[in-house]
Amino acid sequence: MEDFCDLHENAKYRYQLLESIDDGGQLQSFRELVDHFGITDDWQRFRDDAIEKAVTDFFDTNSIPWTRD
């Protein structure tokens, strides 16, 4: 989530999003701000890409064969 915040071009959004996760790591606050700012699609795309990268890195690191469907 922090990487997503750091990449956001709008300084106001970036600051408020970072504050929401620094304030006890409340996922609900973060998601409410993402919805409020209208960047839900950006967040979901970022999250999906991050998950895919983590999974493929794990498979590659552990020499586990896989295919992308």
pTM listed for this prediction: 0.78
Provide the residue ranges of all domains of the chain, joining segments of one domain with +: 2-60
Cα four-point dihedral sign 15, 27, 45, 3 = positive
How many beta carbons lie within 10 A of that of residue 45, not counting itself?
Answer: 12
Going by C-beta distance under 8 Å and a sequence separation of 6 or more, which residues neighbour residue 59?
Answer: 65, 66
Express each pLDDT in 10-40 by its tens digit. 898 899 999 888 866 567 889 999 999 999 9
